[in-house]
Amino acid sequence: MKNTLKRDARAKGAGEGGMVALSSVRPSSGGRGGAGNGARKGEAPAALSARVVAPRAAEALQAGTPEKRMAVRRSLKAAAKARARRGTRRFSTEKVVKESQRWLDIIARADRLTPAMKKRVVKETVKSFNAYFNSGFLEYRKAVAEAEQYAAIEWTGQGSYIEDVMGRQYIDCLGGFGIYSAGIRHPKIVEAVRVQLERMPLSSQELLDPLRGALAELLGEIAPGNLQKCFFINNGTDAVEGAMKLARLYTEKSGFISTIRGFHGKSYGSLSLMGKAEFRVAFEPLLQDVYFVEFGDADEVEWQLKKARDVGLDIAAVVAEPVQGEAGAIVPPDDYWPRLREICDEYDVLLIADEVQTGMGRTGKLFGVEHWDVIPDIMCLGKALGGGVMPLSAFISTPEIWKVLEKNPFLHSSTFGGNPLACAAGIAAINVTLSEDLPAQAAESGAYFLAGLREIQSRYPEHVVDVRGKGLLIGVEFDTTEFGYSVASGLFRRGVLVAGTLLNAKTIRIEPALSIPTKLVDEVLGHLDDTLRSLM
Amino acid sequence: MKLPIEHPLSRAEQETIAAEGIDNWNMYLRRFPKTKDRDRDRALVEWSGEGSIIRNIYGEEYIDCLGGYGIFSLGHRHPEVVRAVKDQLDRMPLHSQYLVNPITAEAGRRLAEVAPGSLRRTFFCNSGTEAVEGALKLARLHTRRQGFISAENSFHGKSMGSLSVTGRSVFREPFRPLLSDVTFVPFGDAAAIDTAIHRDTAAVILEPVQGEGGVIVPPDDYWPRVRAICSKRDVLLIADEVQTGLGRTGALFGVNHWGVVPDIMCLAKALSGGVIPCGSFTTTDEIFAAFHGNPMWHSSTFGNNPLAATAASMAIEITVRDRLPERAARLGDALMRRLETLRSKHPEMILEVRGKGLLIGLEMRDEALGAALAEKLYARRVLVAYALNRPRVIRIEPPLNIPEDLLDRLVVALGESLQALGA
């Protein structure tokens, strides 16, 4: 049945497409379209209530009374029907222009919205998320869907605060999973981007763009040891992809050793290094030749390399995070990285440090590997590198290794990578990170935060199982996922955002701006204590 | 370099920035392979752009007929895109990734409204290669099968997944082994796809018009036949519209030329509005539902950022409103006729003129001649590029809103350059 449906949709679409070949815009399909628009208006609220107010997930259907479950099923059915009816309908040009103009007006008047307009923004956002986006997200971020009267629609932010469209403020202890090391909208970074926007946002890709050179110089000069040559792209996963390609190209070997629960990204190369089954299985087969070892256990790496040498497996590189981020801020033993360096030298394989989350001061040093004075062969950066304003990532290596890329510069290239706007943000981010000494601030605030959390842990030892971290990359582990989730949602209700979600709330991660004032740390600790007390 | 640079540059500053720009490129990025002539190198340092014009650091103007390999469909710094982006910059450039971000939802909605057929669900990312990575993952997830069929001479990106379906050995060879179970077939041959499909084929991935392959336009019945084959054999059809999308070929999407609705469509380049990197893949509700099992199966830190979404929303709006696809079709036809006239004058140098809309290729006799032509055009302040997979093809991809007199200047410059090369 599934397949028949699919074919029907295709056949319909193809027929319709045929009528408008060569025209840029799909016209509304005559009278039927008009009638349909009316129907859509009537249906939208049903879809809304089905998909947001009552979460669609299995849990929602299991919980609650039988009547409630029936109601959920009914509205889901209605929503599905509405979607099916809408299947092939499209707006006319006039409608698109009108609708988009309305949004432009909203954007332009962002700080002067009337309460009615704000409510409308909330409603439409939830609707658009469900209709055009991954509706799973609203359920996934259950804390949001559960929030009082209106879903929290983000609107603006500054420093350690995020404000939603209704004007409610939240302390951001999630930091966009590590992008907001310099805080949200750091004025110096925003200013650099704004001015660059006036001149040349993206590069011609034929002439030489000076900002890419300037950022490369800065990075080349602050990176550990002899890491000097870099390549810029837009995000962490691309940085890891590039590092893997460079490692294979240089060593002429194909294998990698990665760590269990390691996280390096979700494109096919980086996903192949992913140390968590849940994210891999549906997309297999991935790259071959990847071997996994326990994080923090250098002996196992050595054993794996020895084994590979004995049986003739080619290993190009060992890849690891200085501190495992997504796994819940796992800090390795102090001799781990120095030993990795020794072992990689001994077996003549490259050492790749994935500093996407740990780089740019997050752990209390500019780069995570600096805690142990280790110089990797390739280092990946992302997240905070763009100053919390632009997507930007990089991989950086030694001139010696880099030579293999210079023979043919098109062996690895990127259309958007290293665009001037991102580079302006990167230059400003480095400037801010060093001039405000964000790494030192992270070390200091991190120690203070951890001490406060441990004090709280001592009072709720049966629920708070572990408090760990380095600098301001902190994880708090609870006894159960359910409990962790209650804590995250309790904190949310008290105006604090942390990374604890429906699927992974056993450990909540705390990654605030590195410049978070002590007063706010105290406030967060107070809210956590309050939340835990209310859950006892 | 101290940022921001808000004032007009003095001559001394220009010299410093140019010199440092070149040194930094050579020392910290890739050695710039082209010339050793310092003065010439300095002239290569770009500084600002507007519409179809790029200025170097000394303020000298170049006509951009390369269009950033397709990103500048709206030209450089389209004022409406810049204004909207600036406004968003002042409010929330990136997103919390926790609360609901309304700007990106809006971009998703706009894309759905103009996308072919019932394509409606979008995942946003930052680049074309990521869009293809996501499309491949979704195809496997939805079909529970593994294999892909791609075209020889195709280009889909350079990360491990997209590289696996890129049909060009020079980019693949050094990085093998890639994903297994990818079959390559000749582009334009629908029957070959039918033959290549096997029990475990998840999807067929194709460009509507091969861009990096040297601007190869398939026969008119190719896409409809591929669509029919994929439907019949129950295999997904992925259209890589990274370069062809948003008006480039004279229709809003390349597949619209043939009335075909793919199952997944990848976009990037022009989706950026020429301002903020943006990529996406869009599919039907039914196929996307495979992701609903766990939204974290595929995710991206920067993917949904509102700055890029603002640029994408504006790109869609302006492209549709200003009827840029029609304009691309009209200007492209006229330009190709004039190029054809040039070819007939210099048949020993230009083997073929081909293209669709404003994605045009000049197939030169050999690579060296192509490079010499690009060089001569550069001296006449016109920028063009060669195709990655086929360097003897000179690619012409100007902004879709390029003023017609600039295209006249391109034709004049081409005529002069060819004359000079022939002499």
pLDDT at A261 over 70: yes
pLDDT on residue A95? 62
Residues of the domain holding B301 = 79-321
- B115 and B197 assigned to the same domain: yes
**pLDDT computed for residue A43 by the predictor:** 36
**A187-435 fold:** Aspartate Aminotransferase; domain 2 (3.40.640)
Tell me if B90 is assigned to some domain. Answer: yes
Name the pTM for this structure.
0.77
Residue B267: inside a domain = yes
Q: How many CA atoms lie within 13 A of A475 on its CB side?
A: 19
B158 and B222 belong to one structural domain:
yes
- In this prediction, the residues of chain B whose per-residue pLDDT falls under 50 are 32-33, 35-36
Task: Please report, as a single letter, which amino acid is at residue B130.
Answer: E
Interface test with A, best of B52, B76, B109 (most A CBs within 10 A): B109
Per-residue confidence (pLDDT) for residue A52, from 0 to 100: 34
Domain edge (last residue) among B321, B339, B373: B321
Instruction: Mark yes or no for CB contact B275/A428 under 8 Å.
Output: no
Query: A-chain residues within 8 Å CB-CB of B257?
Result: 21-22
* Residues of chain A contacting B171 with CB distance shorter than 8 Å: 410-411
Residues B220 and B354 in one domain: no
**pLDDT for position A135:** 54
pLDDT value of residue B67: 87
Q: What angle do CA A344, A345, A346 make, to 5 degrees?
A: 90
Residues of B in contact with A192 (CB under 8 A): 3-4
Q: Which residue in B has a C-alpha nearest to residue A273's C-alpha?
A: B160
**Is there a domain that residue B3 lies in?**
no
**The pLDDT of residue A144 is above 60:** no
Select from B85, B175, B302 the Cβ nearest to the Cβ of A245.
B175
d(CA B418, CA B248): 26
CB contact under 8 A, B86 and A194: yes
Q: Is residue B295 located within the same domain as residue B196?
A: yes
Question: Which pLDDT does position A139 carry in this prediction?
Answer: 56
The pLDDT of residue A105: 64
Task: For residue range A460-477, list pLDDT tens digits in order.
Answer: 999 999 999 999 999 999
Instruction: Write out pLDDT tens, residues A34-90.
Output: 333 333 333 333 333 333 333 343 444 444 566 655 665 666 566 555 544 444 445
Task: Kindly determine whether residue B30 and residue A248, on different chains, have CB atoms separated by under 8 Å.
Answer: no
Q: Which of B38, B42, B59, B41 is nearest to B50 (CA)?
A: B59
Rounded Cα gap, residues A508 and A476, in angstroms: 5
Residue B1 placed within a domain? no
> pLDDT-based confidence at A33, cuts 50/70/90?
very low
Q: Are residues B290 and B365 in the same domain?
A: no
State the angle between helix axes of A30-48 and A66-86 in degrees (0 to 180), rounded to the nearest 10.
160
Position B58 scores a pLDDT of 81
Return the structure tokens found at A173.
């202890």
Q: Which residues on B lie below 8 Å from A9 (Cβ)?
A: 117-118, 284, 286
Of A204, A235, A269, the CB nearest to B300: A235
Predicted-complex ipTM score: 0.73
Residues in CB range of A510: below 8 A, 6 or more apart = A173, A174, A449, A469, A472, A474, A475, A476, A498, A499, A524
SS3 B63: strand
What's the confidence (pLDDT) of residue B101? 83
- C-alpha closest to that of B247 among B239, B234, B256, B238: B256
Partner-chain residue, chosen from B92, B127, B269, that has the shortest CB–CB distance to A234: B127
**Chain A residue whose CA is closest to B289:** A134
A263 vs A271: CA distance, rounded Å: 8
Task: Give pLDDT tens digits for A406-452.
Answer: 888 788 888 899 899 999 999 999 999 998 999 999 999 999 999 99
Give the model confidence (pLDDT) of A313-323 as tens digits.
999 999 999 99
Write the residue in B68, B112, B181 that is nearest to A205 by C-beta.
B68
CA distance A402 to chain B (A): 8
Q: B5 lies in a domain? A: no
Q: How far apart are CA B46 and CA B42, in angstroms?
A: 9
Instruction: Quote the radius of gyration of chain A (alpha carbons, Å).
Output: 25
Same domain, B376 and B403: yes
How close A223 gets to chain B, by Cα (Å)?
Answer: 11
Say yes or no for a CB contact (<8 Å) between A416 and B126: yes
Q: What is the CATH number of the domain that holds B275?
A: 3.40.640.10
How many A/B residue pairs have CB atoms within 8 Å? 513
Exposure of A46 by Cβ count < 10 A (0-12 exposed, 13-18 middle, 19+ buried)? middle
Q: How many domains does chain B have?
A: 2
Indicate if B316 and B344 belong to the same structural domain: no
| A279 interaction partners in chain B (CB closer than 8 Å) | 296-297
Q: Are B187 and B254 in a shared domain?
A: yes
Chain A residues with beta carbon closer than 8 angstroms to that of B401: none
Share of chain A above pLDDT 70, in %: 72
Return the residue matching tokens 């060093």: A434
The whole-number pLDDT of residue B278 equals 96
Interface probe, candidates A6, A24, A122, chain B, greatest B C-beta count within 10 A: A24
Residue of B nearest to A502 (CA): B294
Q: What percent of chain A has pLDDT over 90?
A: 52
User: In this predicted structure, which of A280-284, A362-366, B200-204, B248-252 has the lowest mean pLDDT?
Assistant: A280-284
Q: Which of A48, A107, A126 to mutate to test the interface with B (most CBs of B within 10 A)?
A: A107
Contacts of A219 in chain B (CB under 8 A): 28
Domain finish residue from B268, B295, B321 = B321
- In the block, which residue shows the tokens 């009914």? A74
Mean pLDDT of A95-119: 63
CA–CA dist A171, B421 (Å, integer)? 65
Query: What are A168-190's pLDDT values in tens digits?
Result: 899 999 888 899 999 999 999 99
Cα distances from A521 to residues A176, A366, A461, A528, B127, in angstroms, run 17, 22, 21, 11, 37
Domain final position from B272, B297, B321: B321
- Segment among A107-111, A208-212, B54-58, B314-318 with least mean pLDDT: A107-111
Query: Inter-chain contact B133–A289, Cβ cutoff 8 Å?
Result: no
Averaged pLDDT of chain A: 80
- Residue B2 domain-assigned? no
Give the pLDDT score at A30: 35
CA dist B281 and B227 (Å) reads: 18
**B261 with A234: Cβ contact below 8 A:** no
Domain ranges of chain A: 187-435, 438-535
Instruction: Decide if B133 and A268 are in contact by the 8 Å CB cutoff.
Output: yes
CA distance B354 to chain A (A): 18
CATH number at residue B48: 3.90.1150.10
Is omega for the bond preceding B403 within 30 degrees of 0, making it cis? no
CB contact under 8 A, B320 and A97: yes
CB-nearest to A249 from B175, B178, B288 is: B175
Contacts of A217 in chain B (CB under 8 A): 20, 24, 27-28
* CATH superfamily ID and name for A438-535: Aspartate Aminotransferase, domain 1 (3.90.1150.10)
A489 pLDDT above the threshold of 70? yes
* Between residues B306 and A203, the one the model is more confident about: B306
- Asked if the Cβ–Cβ distance from A287 to B177 is below 8 Å, we say yes
Chain B CB contacts of A208 under 8 Å are 21-22, 25, 32, 41, 44-46
Which chain B residues are within 8 Å of A128, Cβ to Cβ? 102, 105-106, 108-109
